[in-house]
Amino acid sequence: MSEIHKFLFEGLPVRGVLVRLTDAWTEVLQRRASNKSAGAYPLPVQNMLGEMTAAAVLMQSSIKFNGSLILQIVGDGPVKLAVVEVQPDFGLRATATVIGDVAPDASLSAMVNVNNEGKCAITLDPKNRFPGQQAYQGVVPLFGDAHEKLEKLSDVLAHYMLQSEQLDTTLVLAADDKVATGLLIQRLPLQGVGNLAGSLVSEANEDEIGLNEHYNRIAILASTLKREELLTLDVETILKRLFWEETLVLFEPQAGDAVPHFSCTCSRERVSNMILGLGLEEAQSIIAERGDIEVGCEFCGVLYPFDPVDVAHIFKSSSPLPPASAAVQ
């Protein structure tokens, strides 16, 4: 079973989360492998997507937010797009679009940042949007401060957390064909000053970035964790090995707690809307060519077939669109 473990360092402004995705992750891979047109991922893509999946669960579990968290990399190399979506109940789905060859030992930049145009985006899409409310999106480049190409997803995301949340964060991520796993260590914003001085709190917080000695010590310990250890050891052993000198307060998972699991949010209705978006003319030309329209979900592999009667129904039941909706823009 997939697991999430949250913990605090007693008396220190530092918290941690450790995730181990097993069944939730292998289902992502199995569904992809059984998609005959796409086929299984090349190894480096599999591992990158696994790290992204673990990271998205870590971020969803550490951001107080009721909505879906979408982590995506838009690449300029053979991997055009990699997307992970995690719901507040930790239902998750992930997919990557690969066009062209990926070397068996391809680095992150060789997959998604060949021409320095790769980007990583994190979107927070609220569950119940009020009218006019937009999803929040933050975009980070795949470069470090000295404009060097980043080769670790964990560095890209730590950068994002520092920029957007103003919080020092250390991530260690690893994935193979059985497990997608990660450790997040984060400095907690200073508390206790309360609401008496709102602006002072945030100034004090900014002054602490990179300077909190407790966080720095624990972050260094966390960063000694090796990929192999993260992949093979159980949660208790990892925490003991890294933090045996610290006092940890572990939040035991409660019955009824959300457990990470594979879940796809696709539906026939959504695909209908997509066909509607094509416009009547385009939809009719596909029908004329192939006899029907069949759309497969990239995430779960479910096929949604629409015969000519279904397609006619989609356009009849919608409010009429201008004949060439693309020309309007």
Query: Which residues contact Zn ion by CB under 5 A?
Result: 264, 266, 297, 299-300
Please say which residue, 19 or 28, places its beta carbon nearer to Zn ion.
28
Please say which residue, 18 or 297, places its beta carbon nearer to Zn ion.
297
Q: Rounded distance, CA 153 to CA 41, Å?
A: 18
CA distance readout (Å), 164 to 42, 77, 121, 194, 263: 32, 27, 12, 22, 28
Query: How long is the chain?
Result: 329
- Least distance (Å) between residue 85 CB and Zn ion: 10
Please say which residue, 264 or 276, places its beta carbon nearer to Zn ion.
264
Residue carrying the six token digits 């920029």: 163
- Least distance (Å) between residue 181 CB and Zn ion: 24
- Least distance (Å) between residue 301 CB and Zn ion: 7
Please say which residue, 70 or 161, places its beta carbon nearer to Zn ion.
70
* H helix intervals, the chain: 23-33, 43-62, 108-112, 153-165, 198-208, 213-223, 227-232, 235-243, 268-278, 280-290, 308-316, 325-328
- Least distance (Å) between residue 237 CB and Zn ion: 36
- Least distance (Å) between residue 235 CB and Zn ion: 30
The answer to whether 238 and 229 are in contact (CB under 8 A) is yes
Please say which residue, 300 or 311, places its beta carbon nearer to Zn ion.
300
Pull the structure tokens for residue 98: 């690969």
Whether the CA torsion 46, 141, 182, 301 is positive or negative: it is negative
Q: Rounded distance, CA 133 to CA 25, Å?
A: 32
The answer to whether 82 and 112 are in contact (CB under 8 A) is yes
- Least distance (Å) between residue 323 CB and Zn ion: 31
Q: Rounded distance, CA 271 to CA 105, Å?
A: 37
Please say which residue, 92 or 222, places its beta carbon nearer to Zn ion.
92
Please say which residue, 92 or 242, places its beta carbon nearer to Zn ion.
92
Alpha carbon dihedral 314, 36, 71, 273, in 10-degree steps, equals: 0
Q: Rounded distance, CA 54 to CA 228, Å?
A: 15
Residue 106 three-state SS: coil
The answer to whether 120 and 142 are in contact (CB under 8 A) is yes
- Least distance (Å) between residue 49 CB and Zn ion: 16
- Least distance (Å) between residue 93 CB and Zn ion: 7
Pull the structure tokens for residue 160: 């994002």
Please say which residue, 157 or 300, places its beta carbon nearer to Zn ion.
300
